[in-house]
Amino acid sequence: METVTLSNGVEMPILGFGVYQVSDLAECERVVSEAIQTGYRLIDTAQAYGNEAAVGQAVKKSGLPREEFFITTKVWITNAGYEKAKASIEESLKLLQTDYIDLLLIHQPFNDYYGTYRAMEEYYKAGKLRAIGVSNFYPDRFIDLAEFSEITPMVNQVETHVFNQQIEPQAIMKEYNTQIESWGPFAEGKNDFFHNPTLKAVGEKYNKSAAQVALRYLIQRGVVVIPKTVNKNRMEQNVDVFDFALTEDDMNEILKLNQKESLFFCHYDPETVKFLTGLAR
């Protein structure tokens, strides 16, 4: 598996496995176990997903050394603030059955995320977290946190796919030596993603699917991707993207798909903010 090097020297796989919306614990343990068998080592979960325990169990049952894995989880809005964040980190460590977390992110830029980040910095210094960062931080809040933190976020996980390519935000992250990571690399199938004519046409040249082309495009831009599926055949297809390379012409054609806006929600929209912050009550 190819890796990227974070600002502190930690190696992170460029392709991993996400478990968003796999809420049934038995099902989650099954799919994570199958992902591990397929070769995935980066597993991305979150407190809000309710499946950290299943991820921890699958990793434990794999019989592989803990250091072979790169486990990511995220602090949810309800656990924001210095003291609550610390308690939630301890709970995540317990559920994941691990002495350390490879990457911990602030899930959303709401509530007292400054206090949350201070707690994360403390746990990072103590060796309980190998890397820390944020998720869903738009450039304005990302820059603000980066400028007023002792440790610059090492990762920012944001909605990134061919229809919302995050070109400008990625450039800003690079200024701070922050790694961009994609959630929703398949746009959850929106805009008839898997039948997109551009992606299919490019894929035909390499005998690859639209999904594989989309992943390859992001990987060649240096974006970490965490595609989610509960189907083992698709797990195998999603990881099979390292035996071909897109040409500059291919990349330019796919760049034309960029609509530069979210297909899901916007943190600048008051109603969206009310909805997300309401989840913490």
Tell me the catalytic residues.
49
Compute the distance between CA of residue 160 and CA of residue 179 in angstroms, rounded to an integer: 13
Which residue type does 229 have?
A: T
> 4 has which bridge partners?
12
Asked whether 73 and 45 are in contact (CB, 8 A), the reply is: yes
DSSP 7-64: TTS-EEESB-EE-TT---HHHHHHHHHHHHHHT--EEE--GGGT-HHHHHHHHHHT--
Single out the residue of 258, 212, 218 nearest to residue 234, CA to CA: 212
DSSP 88-115: HHHHHHHHHT-S-BSEEEE-SS-SSHHH
Residue 267, annotated as binding a ligand: no
Six token digits for residue 218: 């992001």
Compute the distance between CA of residue 83 and CA of residue 158 in angstroms, rounded to an integer: 26
CB atoms within 10 A of CB 255: 14
Residue ranges for the known binding site for substrate are 107
Residue ranges for the known binding site are 107
